Structure 1
């Protein structure tokens, strides 16, 4: 069952990635995250799935979850959007 807690964890992970507190290629241990957030591994697994939908986390069967490593083209696109947004401020 999906909960607001699941979404909150996914949002926290996304924020940590965007703020570079979790670097590309970092393995995300379900157990460590469950301990950190004080929840079950099931909730963490659901949160990782949600966070993977925006391609910031890569889920690899039998290996686990990792912070995605963007390609050069993806990085260019992100910086282009960022320049546009910052110019509007």
Structure 2
């Protein structure tokens, strides 16, 4: 394996087997240890400097809004026109 290979371990102490769970972190760490691949505990860090937290907050908020189809605007606009006739 390449010398630059690392495995990312993310553990938020969550139960179950999904992202952030202790179990998934352990299942990632075990093969890294067995194969001699360095593991990096990141906890999904997305910025290097604490002052960048506001940018991450804005990006998280934008991502939670979901894709915009414009359907709400179109329906509202069509309804306004129909009511004004």
- TM (normalized to structure 2)? 0.35
Hey, which of these two has a bigger chunk of helix by percent?
Answer: 1
- TM (normalized to structure 1)? 0.34
Rg larger in structure: 2
Hey, which of these two has a bigger chunk of strand by percent?
Answer: 1
